[in-house]
Structure 1
Amino acid sequence: MFERFTQSARQVVVGAQEEARSLGHDWIGTEHLLLAAVRSPEAPGAATLVRLGVTAENCRAAVASVVSPQGDALGPEDAEALKAFGIDLDEIRRRAEGAFGDGALDAPVSDQGAKPRRRGPFGRRQRRDRTGSLGVPAEVPGPSGHIRFTGRAKKALELSLREAISRKERHIGVEHIVLALLRGDDKISQGMFQQLGVAPAQVRDLVLADLRSAA
């Protein structure tokens, strides 16, 4: 799939990794893809967002307001829903910190106890397949290790392919990524656009209109 990405679209994917690192995040989400897209204000799709007042600066402010330090961590509504099933997250945290110290649940999970990697012939370790469905990688390599794509980010990249197919275009450009992001139905994407004052369905129509006029 990635061989169909234009150079500008590839820069969005790489830029998303840079945005994640700059924000101290160890995941790549739709928020980082959006941030990277508006860094190319002249690119199709991104230009529409910029014309509507979306910038890297107010995107970062929106990220700070809707994204928890744990990324896809459960929010207050989720916690209340779990209480209905007899699961009290606050009580679980209190007990864990009482037994293991403050912040016990915030520490990264270690690899101890993980299943050993399978070994191939001659005792060599087999490489894990880091490619997901439709060729979307599960992780992006970087100087400080790999950063994983969240499920919603992978879905957005897969949708960008579908956007290109629906327009009968052979390449995947920034415009297709933007159109895919505007289709996001997860709480992070919806929260981001709400903070930015963007109505996704209406902006999708504007992006498509701009693409038609530029054709």
Structure 2
Amino acid sequence: MALNSRYSQHARRALAQARLMAQDYQHDAVDTDHLLVGILCERGSLGSQVLTDLDIDMRRAELEVRVLHALADPVAAPLELTGALLEVLRLSAEESRGFGHHYIGTEHMLLALARSRAGGAADLLRTLAVSPDQIRRRVRLLLSDGVTELSIETAKRVARLSELSRRVLNAASQLAAQDSTGPAGIDHLLLVLAREQRSQVSRILRDCGLDEMALSGALRQRTIPTVPTSEALLEEMIDHAVDRADHLGTHYTGTDHILLALAENPHGAALLQRYGVNLGKLFEAIRHDLLPPRGR
């Protein structure tokens, strides 16, 4: 399933949940009802909040989806998306643009499901006695109050960042504003990390060969090859840093986790190598000098 780079993390996980559900239930394709329940299962998302507020029971919804489709034997791998679901994804992007949002969240997917009324989601909603108009009204009410999925995700992410990590991200945004280059990207982030003397990351980058002057000059002259959707890429990388911190058992996300996430991202790794960083040496330094062993 090719994912639009503008999808929020919750939207990505809802789509992944939809595919897993279709596979587990031995259905022959991923349909709109799978996506509806995938959104419901994605706790913490705006879409799940809307569906829960409408008193949709997750267990009952899952049972209804199971019997909406015939069993496939054998199950295709990977599962295709139905035409109805592809249309809903197209409409989700349209709904996002209509609100002037730069991301596609589960709230936009719900509006698209309510608008399309195609595929298994329409049958599922009828069975659950929930109308598309109810969904539409509830989503629009939240959006009119300024609640968006991205604001929820950002608040959660920022709450996990160390004070120094927050300062680094703010400095990257300020650097981008000074250069009049639009939103901050991973190139701005790398330069700020290199200059942040309060963090060990700065020393590690120098020891691993980063040519800070070349990076700074390229930013000023905008000679760095562009990467797709740099703002979305930066947000995705910060999400990965938060996940890595969780995996390592730390209660905060530090600049070391941010550097690790940057190095593990293909675009980030290419950027680091372009300006002289030895990735093997960098990973070794992060592992031994920055990140504590698990359980300590």
Please give the TM-score of this superposition, normalised by the length of structure 1. Answer: 0.61
Aligned positions of 1:79-158 closer than 5 A: 145-158=77-90
Note the alpha carbon deviations across 1:179-211, whole angstroms, 9 max, x for none.
Answer: 111122225222111111101113201111022
Match of 1:77 in 2: none
Structure 1 residues 57 and 190: CA distance shift in structure 2, 3 A: same
* 3-state SS of 2:61 partner: helix
- Which of these two proteins has the greater Rg computed from alpha carbons? 2
Please give the alpha-carbon distance, in whole angstroms, between the structure 2 residues aligned to 1:210 and 1:59.
23
Match for residue 97 of structure 2? 165
8 Å Cα contact 1:44/1:211 also seen in 2: no
Q: Aligned pair in 2 of structure 1 residues 4, 197: CA closer, same or farther (>3 Å)? A: same
Output the amino acid matched with 1:69: A
Unaligned regions of 5+ residues in structure 1, if any?
A: 71-105, 109-143
Any unmatched runs of 5+ in structure 2?
148-296
Q: Secondary structure at the match of 2:5?
A: helix
Q: Does the 8 Å CA contact 1:62/1:192 hold for their aligned counterparts? A: yes
Q: Are the counterparts in 2 of residues 39 and 56 from structure 1 also a CA contact under 8 Å?
A: yes
Q: What is the RMSD of the two structures over their aligned residues, measured on CA atoms?
A: 2.2
- Report the CA distance shift for 1:13/1:68 in structure 2 as closer, same or farther (over 3 A): closer
Aligned twin of 2:235: none
Correspondence for 1:10: 12
For 1:199, give the aligned amino acid. S
Retained in 1: the 8 A contact 2:32–2:119? no
Aligned residues: 145
Match of residue 24 from structure 1:
26
Structure 2 CA distance for partners of 1:58 and 1:107, relative to 1, 3 Å: closer
The answer to which structure has the higher helix fraction is 2
CA gap 1:41/1:211 in 2 versus in 1, 3 angstroms: farther
Q: State how far apart, in whole Å, the 2-side matches of 1:188 and 1:145 are.
A: 21
Distance in 1 between residues matched to 2:69 and 2:78, nearest whole Å: 20
The 2-side partners of 1:12 and 1:64 are apart by 17
Aligned to 2:70: 69
Hey, which bits of structure 1, 4+ residues long, moved more than 6 A?
none
The one-letter amino acid of 1:31's match is D
- Using the TM superposition, give the Cα deviation of residue 107 of structure 1 relative to its aligned residue in structure 2, in angstroms: 6.7
Considering Cα pairs closer than 8 Å and 6+ residues apart, tell me whether 1 or 2 has the greater RCO: 1
Q: Structure 2: how far apart are the matches of 1:176 and 1:39?
A: 16
Counterpart Cα distance in 2 of 1:20 and 1:158: 20
- Could you tell me how far 1:157 is from its partner in structure 2? 0.6
Q: Secondary structure at the match of 2:78?
A: strand
Provide the C-alpha distance between the structure 2 equivalents of 1:43 and 1:58, rounded to a whole number of angstroms.
20
- What is the alpha-carbon distance in structure 2 between the residues aligned to residue 154 and residue 69 of structure 1? 20
Residue number in structure 2 paired with 1:41:
43
Cα separation, partners in 2 of 1:170 and 1:26, compared to 1, 3 Å:
same
